[in-house]
Structure 1
Amino acid sequence: MDRRGTARIRARLNPPEHLTLPADKIMDTTTTSLGFGHFLAQADVVGKTLLALLLLMSAASWIIIATKALTTVLRQRRAAGFLDRFWNAGTLEQVQADIDAHGASDAFSHLSAQALHAQAHHARHGAQRLAEAGSASEFLTRTIKKVLDEETTRVESGLTTLATVGATAPFVGLFGTVWGVYHALLGIGMSGAGTLDKVAGPVGEALIMTGLGLAVAIPAVVAYNAFTRSNRVLCGRLDAFAFELHSFLTMGEAPGAAVPAANSNVRAIKPQMAVATASTPATAA
């Protein structure tokens, strides 16, 4: 082999520096075209529809989370203030006046307002309709139960949406991943480039949909569990308060009615009354 042939071989094996690119530049040329933007640009109608569905589910869940969190905090503060005034009231008239002044803005004050109104209505008009049939205690019990059902329905609003988002969002994302991988492999097969660097990029892009599905589902599941526990505690406290309220109203009279002085001790509203009432049969026994 002559000198010219040897020089040509060396030139091919060791190209000049101005004809080569650094390693980081080579990585840039292969990675800049990959990413979520490239996946979105290459996605078809099904992929874009699934992405829009995930975004819609995320927006709906976060709106419900923010709304219920703010509402829960405000109602807890109002309920704490009302219960403090309720247990420190001396008569049912004071409770009614407090409700008129501050409004029934929480579950406990709403229950008290409806119960007081039901007792006063039955005391003045009696059982004029079928809905008012029975004694005053029975009518009061039905009213309290109705209010409890309404409050339970109110505090559970939105939880169905959170549960649905938490249960379906991962599968929506997984379906988007399967669809994206299928199209990526189909395109790679048609192009004939089956090397690892050609396969890893499109498949990695398709996995983004699974991550988005989990990102949508996790906050919804956490919020659902938190709100469910909060509602369980609230309903338990409300049931206990309803029992106490029913005892006070059945032992006393309607607010504003004339009550003899001898019965003034019966109409006193104190927390100790529940303990005394429960311990009387045991003492007698």
Structure 2
Amino acid sequence: MNLATLWAQSDGLGRGVMLLLLAMSVLTWMVIVYKAWLLARARRSIEGGLAGYWRAADSAGAEQALQQADRLHLLWPLHGALGALPEQPGVRSGTDGVQAPSAARQAHLTRLLRDGLQQSTRQLQWGQILLATVGSTAPFVGLLGTVWGIYHALTGLTGGGAISIDQVAGPVGEALIMTAFGLMVAIPAVVAYNIFGRLIGALVERLDGFAHDLLALHGGSGSQAA
């Protein structure tokens, strides 16, 4: 099938469908390439940041380790919740005089950690909506081109006397190519969406675990950060 012939035989709507599918395909592959690079870098950022943070001897060293390893600032919003937490007086125990974190402080830290986790998750989720949209709509865009191409081909054959199967098979077969184009655009988007979704889920689990560890250390045990 000659694409130039298909383009020449199409009208405005058919050409618009082809251009739309081309634009969707280009955007999809741009997102796939960038997203693969982003998630690979995010994995290194999280793994290196966590390793440096927990190896640090004090809070200053932990902060420096995050600044050096967490290039994408995925862990930093969670650590930053500690800096945004106001100092509040605890509740003094009547037996040993040790101060425990107040419930208000614990709840405030939970909200800050949840906000930080959502910020990092949004960064990891970038591009997923586009992949899902392309994967779900590209087949229907291609089908629209096919239906319109068949209609356009059949109306072009009317008024010419007897119509043979050979006269119909060529234009209809060319129109069916549009459905194949739609699938060729949609399949990479769907596959990439599913693969990236699993990778993002694993990274978010690491971030969620870090948030829970911070909450247990600085806000009291037995609470949930997200």
> TM tier, shorter chain?
0.7 to 0.9
Q: Which residue of 2 aligns with 1:263?
A: none
Superposition deviation, residue 143 in structure 1 = 1.0
The answer to whether the aligner puts 1:212 opposite 2:181 as a matched pair is yes
The answer to whether the aligner puts 1:48 opposite 2:18 as a matched pair is no
Structure 1 residue aligned with 2:197, among 213, 228, 234? 228
Q: Which residue of 2 aligns with 1:69?
A: 36
CA contact (8 A) 1:39 1:205 kept: yes
Structure 2 residue aligned with 1:142, among 108, 111, 131? 111
Partner of 2:43, secondary structure, is helix
Structure 1 residue aligned with 2:66, among 70, 80, 99? 99
CA RMSD across the alignment = 2.4
The answer to whether the aligner puts 1:189 opposite 2:158 as a matched pair is yes
Structure 2 residue aligned with 1:245, among 208, 214, 219? 214
Partner of 2:75, secondary structure, is helix
Deviations 1:65-85 (A, max 9, x none): 111111111111121111111
Q: Which residue of 2 aligns with 1:117?
A: 83
The answer to whether the aligner puts 1:155 opposite 2:121 as a matched pair is no
Query: Bigger radius of gyration, 1 or 2?
Result: 1
- 1:7-26 matches, cutoff 5 A: none
Q: Which amino acid aligns with 1:57?
A: M
Q: Which amino acid aligns with 2:29?
A: W
Q: Which residue of 1 aligns with 2:45?
A: 78
Q: Which residue of 2 aligns with 1:90?
A: 57
Superposition deviation, residue 89 in structure 1 = 2.1
CA contact (8 A) 2:139 2:182 kept: yes
CA contact (8 A) 1:79 1:107 kept: yes
How many residues matched?
Answer: 210
Residues in 1 aligned to 2:146 and 2:139: alpha-carbon distance in whole angstroms: 10
Residues in 1 aligned to 2:83 and 2:213: alpha-carbon distance in whole angstroms: 16
Structure 1 length-normalised TM: 0.67
Instruction: Judge which range, 57-66 or 183-192, deviates more.
Output: 183-192
- Which 5+ residue runs of structure 2 have no aligned equivalent? 90-102
- Which 5+ residue runs of structure 1 have no aligned equivalent? 1-33, 128-133, 252-276, 279-285
Q: Which amino acid aligns with 1:241?
A: F
Distance 1:44 1:110, change over 3 A: same
Taking every aligned residue pair, what percent have the same amino acid on both sides?
41
Superposition deviation, residue 101 in structure 1 = 4.4
Superposition deviation, residue 104 in structure 1 = 5.3
Residues in 2 aligned to 1:158 and 1:102: alpha-carbon distance in whole angstroms: 24
Residues in 1 aligned to 2:164 and 2:2: alpha-carbon distance in whole angstroms: 19
Superposition deviation, residue 229 in structure 1 = 1.5
Residues in 2 aligned to 1:160 and 1:101: alpha-carbon distance in whole angstroms: 31
Residues in 2 aligned to 1:77 and 1:162: alpha-carbon distance in whole angstroms: 24
